[in-house]
Amino acid sequence: MAKAPVSEEILKEQFGPHLNYVPPGGWKDESIHPAEKLVKTHCCFCGQQCGIQLKVRENRVIGFEPWEEFPFNRGMLCPKGVKRYLQGNHPDRLLSPLMRSEQGFRPATWDEALDFTVSQMREIQQKHGKDAIAIYGGASLSTEKSYLMGKFARVALGTRHIDYNGRLCMVSAGTAYKLAFGIDRSTIPWSEIPKAEVLFVIGANIGDCAPITTDYIWRCRDNGGRLIVADPRMTPITRNADLYLPLRPGTDLALLMGMLHVILRDGLEDREFIEQYTTGFEAVAESAKQWNLGKAAEMTGVPPEAIEKAARWIGKSKRAIVMHARGLEHQSKGVENCLAVVNIALATGNIGREGAGPTMITGQGNGQGGREHGQKCDQLPGQRSLTDPAAREYVAGVWGIQPEELPQPGYTAEEIMEAIHRGEIKGLLSTCFNPLVSLPDANFTREALSKLEFFGVIDFFLSETAHHADVVLAGSLHEEEDGLGCSAEGRVIHWQKSIDPPGEARCDSDIIIDLAHRLGRGQYFQFKNPADIFEELRIASRGGVADYYGITYERVDKQMGIFWPCPSLDHPGTPRLFVDRKFYTHDGKAHFNVTEWRPSGDPISNDYPLFLTTGRVVSQYLSGTQTRRIGALVDQYPEPRAEIHPSLAEQHGIKDGDWVTVTTRRDDLTIQAMVVKTIRPDTVFIPYHWAGTRSANRLTHRTLDPRSKIPEFKVSACRIAKANGPDPSADDRGAHHGGASRGGA
């Protein structure tokens, strides 16, 4: 049933992506028709959550003005932030609910679309049990909406299966930090970055993915700080690195263990800190013994002297910060990688002090706030565990239900898709998620979608995933609903509503609440607006690790953000964690964790001798649902390119701009080559923002980290060959027809 109803071409013509270049009213009319108001809010894209002022006239966002008073970015914006306003007033915008028809999709009334959604979900649950329906959420939703999604799944539908696209983002670091510290948050605010003596950036392409952080790094260097960058590619910040470690994809753990080995070998550890505030050191020290420099160098491809130097710089400095992102996390040992960072920080006592600490860089807009209050499959509000009897009792009490009514933990995002594929989950309601582009092994995802008996989507544009939907509920953009977010720093911020949703489109939370009422559970969803939801969230999070009880919209506006935990109205918030060396673990201590080396789930071989790694470019965001519709951003980097080193290119007779076929054990992709000396010769890089014939995730594999369940996007095995042009058969395999021929339901 849930195949695309007509060809991709017809859907593209109707729903885009079309390119929006010009602001409402044109470029020239601004002085004649100035903005009626400037709304202080935030960028809708990444986890930096830059402050921005939107210019509004006649219920349309017509431009922006930098917000220089907001302390995090002080007016700075990346190109996505500059052009974010062009997602509004867009020709592709969904203005009413849509129902699948023979001709594609037809407009429907809200009553028809919502009643259909409810009847389909009810029917499936009656026939196959409550867990036959799954919910997908996303980390671009406000904290209120994220909370609402968790409650909706568990209270309105009673299903175990709710998870979100943050499963593709921060969960390895989150799992590691919870194991080590009992809390899932960056340990320091960004204002401390310039104070470090040594800054070690590993697996984080800051220039492209967290551009504003660059200024903090350069200021650290102005203060005399030294920058170490470990990455298979020379990313933009590498231009000023004092030490560059060009490691082989998937070998971060070997590098980190080699560094820990040197620190302990040279006696650079902080014995006093270790003894007073940590547990588990001896076992980790024992495990580091085997990681001598020779072994670490052999595994990583980094010179032993460079590993030694990096370790000594950190070990001998007074203040070291390690910043890490998806490069470490997107591996089948993502949690181990992050634990290895933590182990180095703990061994050297770099935590709880100014200008020191392990620092995860959250990638998605509300990547932090969206993972704190129950949108994850095993979580209740306040970063509580769904398996903790006391947490269940408390939250059930807030919600007015019995603890037994709360389902047990369900599947994670990729596991949900696999359960759909094997027929265990029959229905899916998805918002803020474009899994066809963002999950690994896209052909598998497409097959799974085609097996759904019911697929409902809440979105503002018709994403490639939504092509497979039975019903699409026209939701709201970031600027169309009030709410809070939480930035990579742990700073809770206010997304001010700037305009109303256009046409018949509705606020996302209104849609969810309406569905809950139509499911007969309205008594548990008596919310008139996001502020009502937040009032309940404050109480539901109270006493949890992510305690929001002391946070109000007014305080957030006045203080320009509040760092959680903030347990009471007179609490100032907590910019730096562990100032008192007390951790959120059961014993109050920080825990060393032994890390285990495992090979990649898609190992290189004679047939597939190269590493494939995927990531982002600065002008696009995630699955591109928004940014592939903004003309100026598309022009900046129009098509995915395969980055390869000149020596590899020469072996295959490939020149810059030539077509190249990249083949993995799943599929092949033919795109143009970008021949650059800034990547290891054994590695191919492709950005993943595109769909269909240009989708890098057709090549990636579904191996998950066993604990965080994050896919191993950063390490696949591939081979390359020169091609004469685009692959004419790719369309057939990639889109409508493939789904139809493989369709099972």
Partner 1 sequence: MFGYEFYIDPSRCIGCRSCLQACEECETHRGKSMINFDFIERRESITSAAYVCWHCDEPTCAQVCPADAIKKGEDGIVHSSLKPRCIACNNCVLACPFGIPKMMEPEQQMMKCDMCYDRTSVGKRPMCATVCPSQALAYVRPEQIAARREKPTNIFYFGNQKITTKVYMMAPAEREAIALDVVDYMWEEKHELAATRE
Q: Where along the sequence are the contacts to partner 1 (CB under 8 A)?
A: 22, 27-28, 30-31, 63-64, 66, 68, 75-79, 81-83, 207-208, 211-212, 214-215, 218-219, 221-223, 234-240, 618-619, 632-633, 636, 646, 656, 674-678
Helix (H) or strand (E) holding 396: helix 389-399
Token pair for 448: 């799974």
DSSP code of 330?
Answer: S
What's the per-residue H, E or C state across 284-307? Answer: HHHHHCCCCHHHHHHHHCCCHHHH
Residue 675 CA to residue 313 CA, distance in Å, equals: 34
SS3 content of the chain, % helix, strand, coil (to 5): 35, 20, 45
**Helix ranges (DSSP H) in 409-562:** 413-421, 435-438, 442-451, 508-518, 530-541, 553-559
Q: 3-state class of 630 per DSSP?
A: strand
Preceding omega of 17 cis (within 30 degrees of 0): yes
For residue 443, CA distances in Å to 236, 439, 440, 449, 612 come to 33, 10, 9, 10, 18
For residue 16, CA distances in Å to 90, 91, 92, 297, 648 come to 10, 8, 6, 48, 37
A 10 A CB-CB count for 170 gives 29
Residue ranges with strand state E in 67-120 = 98-101, 104-107
Q: 3-state class of 740 per DSSP?
A: helix
Residue 735 CA to residue 44 CA, distance in Å, equals: 29
| Edge-to-edge strand list for the sheet holding 483-486 | 483-486, 491-495, 562-563
Q: How far is the CB of 646 from partner 1 (least distance, A)?
A: 7
For residue 153, CA distances in Å to 145, 150, 180 come to 12, 5, 30
CA diameter of the chain: 72
Residue 212 CA to residue 649 CA, distance in Å, equals: 33
| Edge-to-edge strand list for the sheet holding 51-57 | 37-42, 51-57, 60-66
A 10 A CB-CB count for 658 gives 17
The residues, ordered by sequence, that sit 6+ positions from 602 with a Cβ below 8 Å of its Cβ are 608, 664, 665, 701, 703, 712, 715, 716, 717
For residue 49, CA distances in Å to 154, 167, 460, 664 come to 29, 19, 20, 36
Residue 407 pairs in a beta bridge with none
> Considering only CA atoms, which of 508, 510, 500 is closest in space to residue 460?
508
Residue 371 pairs in a beta bridge with none
Residue 64 CA to residue 38 CA, distance in Å, equals: 8
For residue 30, CA distances in Å to 23, 53, 390 come to 10, 16, 57
What DSSP string describes 232-301? SB--GGGGG-SEEE-PPTT-HHHHHHHHHHHHHHTT-S-HHHHHHHEE-HHHHHHHHTT--HHHHHHHH-
What's the per-residue H, E or C state across 116-184? Answer: HHHHHHHHHHHHHCHHHEEEEECCCCCHHHHHHHHHHHHHHHCCCCEEEHHHHCCHHHHHHHHHHHCCC
Q: How far is the CB of 211 from partner 1 (least distance, A)?
A: 4
Q: How far is the CB of 609 from partner 1 (least distance, A)?
A: 23
| Packing angle, helices 334-347 and 252-265, rounded to 10 | 20
Q: Using an 8 Å Cβ cutoff, are 336 and 286 in contact?
A: no
Dihedral sign from CA coordinates of 79, 84, 85, 87: positive
Q: Between 213 and 509, name the residue whose CB sits nearer to partner 1.
A: 213
Q: How far is the CB of 78 from partner 1 (least distance, A)?
A: 5
Chain Cα centroid distance, residue 225 = 29
